[in-house]
Amino acid sequence: MTSSIASFLMFPKYLTRKGMLDNHDIGNFPVKLKKILVITHSIDLALLVGLCIVGLALKILEKPT
């Protein structure tokens, strides 16, 4: 649930064009909470990318037995 809200906050222009969000909703969202959600979501995405890179590196470096 929090991931969805953070995604809405990270891409508000796209979602307002699609009619899924209203600019009034974004403007009324608490700024401090918005920063926390966006930062944690960005960290989650960075960790996911890092995990994928490590997994790919392990697959490439795996020696056939």
Q: What is the pLDDT of residue 52?
A: 97
Tell me the one-letter amino acid at 64: P
Q: What is the pLDDT along the chain (65 residues), one digit of tens a residue?
A: 777 888 888 888 888 888 888 888 888 889 999 899 989 989 999 999 999 999 999 999 987 76
Q: What is the pTM of this model?
A: 0.70
Between 2-10 and 31-61, two packed helices, what is the crossing angle to 10 degrees?
100
N- to C-terminal Cα separation, the chain: 44
Would you list the domain boundaries of the chain? 2-61
